Amino acid sequence: MSENFSRAGILLRWLPGIPLPEVGSPLTVDVELPSAPGRAPRVMRCDTEIVRIQGAGGSAPKVALTIEKVRFESRPHRAAVADLGKMLPLSTRPN
């Protein structure tokens, strides 16, 4: 869930039950944009890097991201929260 957006970064409130990423790891964030009537939905796809995690032991930690690249996509892929919950933490993934 987004807390704050700026030109250079994003602050997310991490949802319970989803493994926390590690500082320095990449994360792609899709921001749904409002669509005009008769137009296809679009997203602003942000390639980011995790720079800070606040409150990692709490119920709603905050994850700070720096935006590396932005592009606009006309055919968004809708990822469900369940998809993220199945991901292994970066430190346990095989190389």
What pLDDT does residue 56 have? Answer: 79
In this predicted model, what pLDDT tens digit does every residue of 73-87 receive, in sequence order?
886 566 555 555 555
User: 68 and 15 in contact (C-beta within 8 Å)?
Assistant: no
Q: Is 74 strand, coil or helix? A: coil
CA distance linking residue 10 with residue 30, whole number of Å: 11
pLDDT per residue as tens digits for the range 3-62: 899 999 999 999 888 888 999 999 999 988 888 888 888 899 999 999 999 987 777 899
Q: Is the pLDDT of residue 71 over 90?
A: yes
